[in-house]
Structure 1
Amino acid sequence: MEPCAAMRPAFLKGDEGTLLTSHEAEYIVEHLSCLGIDQVGSAAWIKQHANLEKLNLQAHYNTMALCDEFVMAALISHNKMDVLIHELLVIEIWLEKVFPHLLPALAVQATTMTLGLLLYHEATIINLLEVALFHSEACEALGSDALLELADYTYRKVVYLNTKAWEDASAKERTASEMVNLKPEEEVEDKVARNRFCAGVCALSVLRYLTDYISSLSPCVMARLLDCHDVVMALIPLVESAPWTRKRKSGDKRWVEKYSKGKWSEVPPADRYLLVEPDVQLWLAINNLLVDLKCRNKYAYDSYRRSQVLKLHKYVNDLLLDQLPVLKDLRWVLEELQLKILNTDPDRGGLILEQVPALRESMLRRDDWQELAQKQLLTILANEAPNQSAMNERVLEMMRMFEFGELMEPPTCAACGGQAVNRCSRCKTEWYCGKACQVRVWQKHKKACELLVRASHNQPNKIVQA
């Protein structure tokens, strides 16, 4: 038995756990490049998105299966971590500045596949970074400029989690009939909200990893998070608001759902106070920033900061410590604060000049967003399907990635979200708990199903494109 097999989760199939071999992953990583905002939606961009999606899926599988993490190793050895940060900023700005101008036209003219690529790109990259940056060597492989940009990005997402995330998370669940009658723009806006929320939660994990290794990273990162953004004050409200927890109701039925591992799940009443992944990442980030000695020496308390931090005291109870014993030192710090043992004279470390990020600012230094949107609309629509062969190949790539992703979790019903036991006999990609649910969403699935079946009959199996 292979070394990792004994500890692999039962639902992971070891013999099917390769979307990419280590050599294929290294080849793809070696050819990753920085693409500008003008290139979003181009043929080169679409190809790179597909490759990033493969890397992301394989990296997650390697982590879950406790196997060799060759994707992360390749990103480090080929110095491509900074490229991921560049691509993350590009798609963030594009979604903010260009996409709103494109929305009406793309909602009507673009295929579901094209919209999926554009809207899911940010979540794909931050999800890949989430896997890689768990390791200190990946954090340390980032240049100081990239680290600052990433620190700023995660702070912007924390601000989002404190504001618009509530609206995105509490979006109304639509019935099958409502989905069929949904206007194209409304459907796209729903997808934007889902992907924006996913990226925000992933960014919280990335912030936690930055705080894990903050003492060994460039001092500018600590200065940026504590002095410039005061990220501690931004994180504390999330303990109480927790946008990844929502209350739902249908008729007389009421229940609570929590967001973890990329999806919303109903929480049994007995488990209401159990932490989910975003809760854990939030508490660990706060713990790192308040307990780490270098951070404590740098972070000066005034009366406002003290009052806000002390709000945590009621939450750091035995129930929390049973789940996260590492927080025992945080309890001690809070008790110190109650006794007014404060650091009011922070250690500035003798720094005279403050390093600031410049990449995002340089990308924003233009005002032709509407003109760019008009040009890109033609590019995006032209690259949707240069010919039927290219479309078939693209669909097959998506099918392989979808099927590989299924290996990492038990299948769920596409209609009701329950445990699935059957899947579509034609395309074999969509799962259902029974005949009733399959009939319920068939009209929505029919076109995609026919396209997938046609593509599978017309194209050979092909994985790697650099």
Structure 2
Amino acid sequence: MSWHTMDTSVIMPVEAEGFIQSLETFSLKEVGSARWFKQYEDIVKLNMQAILNASAMHDEFVKELLVSYGKIPVLVHEMILVEVWKHKVFPILCQLQDFNPKNTFHLHMAINHEATIINLLETIMFHKDSCEAADDSVLDLVDYCHRKLILLASKATQESTTVHSKHNLSGTADVSSVSLSSVNELLSQCADLEFEISLKAVSVLRFITDHTNSISAINRMLCTHNMPCVFVQLLDCCPWSRCRGGVVEKFINGRWQKIPPEDHLKMTKLDGQVWISLYNLLLKEDCQRKYDLNSFNKNQLLKLRGFLTEVLIDQLPNLVELQRYLAQLSVTDPAPPKKELILEQIPEMWNSIVQENNGKWKAIAKYQVKETFSPSESDLRSQAQRLAQLYNLDVIESLLPEKPKCGCCGKEATKRCSRCQGEWYCHRECQVKHWPKHKKACQLMAEATEKIQRDLKINN
């Protein structure tokens, strides 16, 4: 049986409904508490089930329930809450003299929670109704993605964390070599996860550019954060591609993969997300009215002409329209956007969490060292057993295959789908046979292309 067609479920729809109904927001002090841990488990299960449903073309009941119960803003809040905790509390916690963890299990969960939620959001935000259901929290999501993309564009997420220099842990008193090693491991995990989280943010922001009609969200992307120029910088530094020992590697499906010379010019899913985002932000009528094409922005955008080769446009044909737009931009000086008097909404989550806890960071860290991240042996065993049962499911093989397997027959595969590069096949015959099942996942970029082409025909 093909690993893409396994009929394995993590949770049933009625269980998912219960989990989603009970989703709630927590305070910063409660991160890692027993109630928080229970919700962490629920979100892990929801994330796994959402991925299964999307990849196997099953009824996407997790997405539907999150939309119908209005819980997407809760997910956004909890993701930003952990982001604040990692920035403000975790570094202090690691330097406390009485921080001598015998087990870092709870801390690993807290660190991983942000990645779990952004993964779930990436899966569900592909759909327009999810973007609409995010309501005002879409502004907080835009700001969150901007923070991650800035880190990505500066390649800060790829730099290894120097524990001793950044956190001065080697000079902390009463910290054993065992605990120091555990903390170093946690900090290294944080750095690795930050890179993967930032890549997920690229996809989430692309879906927002696809679906949002919010004037405030558009204004935030174009005027406040100047996302077109951020995307230009991303394409210029291409942090998901690297060369080691003369071998080109690209970050695909959650890991660095060696790319044969004949595939060096093939577009990855991340490349496609950035180009589609640029197309949406520069060519949509609502966006064009907002964006200020001053001399700096114009010069930055014209750098894109060097990337728009025939090979690239063959892979994403709608980019020919962007190429024409840039050619016209190079010989014109567009008028500045008209000043419009609008009542603009602003994001609140990050500022609200920071203001509520400002000046309390050390107190929160001390409380969590004593009460939250020092569980009893019995609690640790119980929680570890529950997560082990969850992660030991056969479904993990379908979500994280160690070696490329043919999406049709399950044999070892060497050929990748040229459209999405997310599925593998052993022969052309298997690819053709599997197309009806693979179609939905493959159209992550293809649907956007077709949609843009339809819009162009209508406009013309």
| TM-score bin (small chain) | 0.7 to 0.9
Partner of residue 421, structure 2: none
Shift of 1:74: 0.5
Match for 2:217 among 210, 215, 221? 221
Give the whole-Å Cα distance in 1 for the aligned partners of 2:298 and 2:254.
Answer: 34
Q: How does 1:161-176 map to 2 (within 5 A)?
A: 161-165=152-156, 167-168=158-159
SS in 2 for 1:246: strand
Residue 393, structure 1, aligned to residue 385, structure 2: yes
CA contact 1:412–1:420 (8 Å) conserved in 2: no
Q: How does 1:309-388 map to 2 (within 5 A)?
A: 309-340=301-332, 342-348=333-339, 350-365=340-355, 366-383=358-375, 385-387=377-379
TM-score (norm 2): 0.79
Amino acid at match of 1:206: V
Q: How does 1:8-407 map to 2 (within 5 A)?
A: 10-15=2-7, 17-104=8-95, 109-144=101-136, 146-165=137-156, 167-168=158-159, 183-214=181-212, 217-249=213-245, 254-340=246-332, 342-348=333-339, 350-365=340-355, 366-383=358-375, 385-387=377-379, 390-391=382-383, 393-400=385-392, 403-407=394-398
Shift of 1:113: 3.2
Partner of residue 427, structure 2: none
TM-score (norm 1): 0.78
Give the whole-Å Cα distance in 1 for the aligned partners of 2:188 and 2:182.
Answer: 10
How many aligned residue pairs are there? 389
CA contact 1:11–1:408 (8 Å) conserved in 2: no
State the superposition RMSD in angstroms. Answer: 2.7
CA contact 2:241–2:249 (8 Å) conserved in 1: yes
Shift of 1:124: 0.5
CA contact 1:169–1:243 (8 Å) conserved in 2: no
Of 45-54 and 375-384, the range deviating more from structure 2: 375-384
Shift of 1:116: 2.4
CA contact 1:247–1:255 (8 Å) conserved in 2: yes
CA contact 1:25–1:55 (8 Å) conserved in 2: yes
CA contact 1:62–1:69 (8 Å) conserved in 2: yes
Shift of 1:96: 0.3
Gap change, CA 1:166 and 1:80, over 3 Å in 2: closer
Give the whole-Å Cα distance in 1 for the aligned partners of 2:5 and 2:104.
Answer: 30
Amino acid at match of 2:226: D
Give the whole-Å Cα distance in 1 for the aligned partners of 2:5 and 2:260.
Answer: 29
Unaligned stretches of 5+ residues in structure 1: 1-8, 172-179, 414-418, 422-466
Of 38-47 and 386-395, the range deviating more from structure 2: 386-395
Shift of 1:248: 2.0
Shift of 1:274: 1.2
Give the whole-Å Cα distance in 2 for the aligned partners of 1:13 and 1:246.
Answer: 33
Amino acid at match of 1:314: G
Give the whole-Å Cα distance in 1 for the aligned partners of 2:384 and 2:289.
Answer: 59
CA contact 1:385–1:391 (8 Å) conserved in 2: no
SS in 1 for 2:399: coil
CA contact 1:34–1:86 (8 Å) conserved in 2: yes
Deviations 1:323-355, CA, capped at 9 Å, x for gaps: 111212111111111221x4323144x433332
CA contact 1:32–1:48 (8 Å) conserved in 2: yes
Give the whole-Å Cα distance in 2 for the aligned partners of 1:197 and 1:409.
Answer: 18
SS in 2 for 1:14: coil
Unaligned stretches of 5+ residues in structure 2: 163-177, 405-409, 413-460
Shift of 1:110: 5.0
Shift of 1:409: 3.9
Deviations 1:371-427, CA, capped at 9 Å, x for gaps: 1101011223333644476245334344335x42222243359xxxxx999xxxxxx
